[in-house]
Amino acid sequence: MRIALGLEYDGSAFCGWQTQPSGCAVQNALETALSRIADHPIATVAAGRTDAGVHAGWQVVHFDTDAIRPESAWVRGVNALLPPAVSVLWAREIDSAFHARFDAMSRAYRYRLLPRTSRPGVLHGHVGWWHGPLDIDAMQTAARALVGEHDFSAFRAAECQARTPVRTLHRLDVGPDGDCIRFDLRANAFLHHMVRNIVGALVYVGAGRWEPGAIATLLASRDRRLAPPTFAPDGLSLVGVEYPSRYGLPAAPEILSPF
């Protein structure tokens, strides 16, 4: 039997999604709790492997088990065994052909950035930071060059293991969010550090270091060495994963951020 779960977690409490020998990852905590409920070892597969410090408001995973349990056991029972910073939102028995990673049609991320002279205190670990004002209109203008299908090599981490740098970015919106600025992105898939590298480049535009047209030039160059440094993970959250309707999984709210 295959089970799909929806999760949320505060990534600042973990060393990332993917299991580590030290047991510091979200996957370690989840598999330990699931294994106790199932009474046998459980291995999970996630829609996306978030990095250390990256949060999730809507992560989706699947696992296989022979244990017959009510759905409530996979939610309330597992939550009783998880650390406070991670929570199961829902559970569904699902077709054995379902794959949390390969069946995902799109993924959505939100980055929240605080632009002020003083670093964040209350929001430390939950927002990115830039030490001054940023021009939102200039960043939104520059962002338009990235929407569509492109080779995103200039926004790809050196250690990225994806077979191709080509991705389709369906959405990239930049707008105010209280005292912060939010960057909303949706794509068929993302390269390693792609969102944080896009945010870093747009911040250079917002700060007046680059003209908006520089983003299109950087994209066309396919050269990561020409780009600004990778931005901090603190403000990044996985906020949605879209699947074919035939699976009947819950859909993430249109606007969702854990912080």
How does pLDDT run across 26-39, given as a tens digit for each residue? Answer: 999 999 999 999 99
Residue range 128-137: mean pLDDT, rounded: 97
> pLDDT (tens digit, 9 = 90+) per residue, 139-174?
999 999 999 999 999 999 988 889 999 999 999 999
Q: CB of 143 within 8 A of CB of 215?
A: yes
The CA-based angle 45-46-47, given to 5 degrees, is: 135
Report the SS3 class of residue 79. Answer: helix
What pLDDT does residue 255 have?
Answer: 54
Task: Give me the pLDDT at residue 233, please.
Answer: 95
Q: Which of 11, 33, 61 is nearest to 257 (CA)?
A: 11
Amino acid present at 81 = L
Using DSSP bridges, classify how beta strands 236-242 and 55-64 pair: parallel, antiparallel or unpaired: parallel
Closest CA to 58 of 68, 70, 69, 46: 46
> Each residue of 36-52: b (16+ CB within 10 Å) or e?
ebbeeebebebbbbbbe
Q: Which helix (H) or strand (E) holds 166?
A: strand 166-177
In whole angstroms, what is the distance from residue 216 CA to residue 227 CA?
12
How high is the pLDDT of residue 254?
65
| This prediction's pTM | 0.94
Spot the catalytic one: 51, 103, 184, 234. Answer: 51
At residue 258, does pLDDT exceed 80? no
State how far the alpha carbon of 74 is from the alpha carbons of 68, 109, 170, in Å.
11, 26, 33
The pLDDT tens digits for 51-101 are: 999 999 999 999 999 999 999 999 999 999 999 999 999 999 999 999 999
For residue 253, what pLDDT is reported? 79
Give the mean model confidence (pLDDT) for residues 212-233.
96
pLDDT value at 199 more than 70:
yes
Predicted confidence (pLDDT) at residue 183 exceeds the cutoff of 70: yes
pLDDT at residue 161, as a whole number? 86
For this structure, is 177 an active site residue?
Answer: no
Q: For 74, left (φ over 0), alpha (ψ -120 to 50), or beta?
A: alpha
Structural domains present in the chain: 2-103 (3.30.70.580), 106-238 (3.30.70.660)
pLDDT tens digit string along 236-252?
Answer: 999 999 999 999 999 88
CA-based nearest residue to 114, from 14, 186, 183, 57: 183
pLDDT value of residue 193 = 96
How far apart CA 34 and CA 39 sit, in angstroms, is 8
Q: What is the average pLDDT value for the chain, to the nearest integer?
A: 95
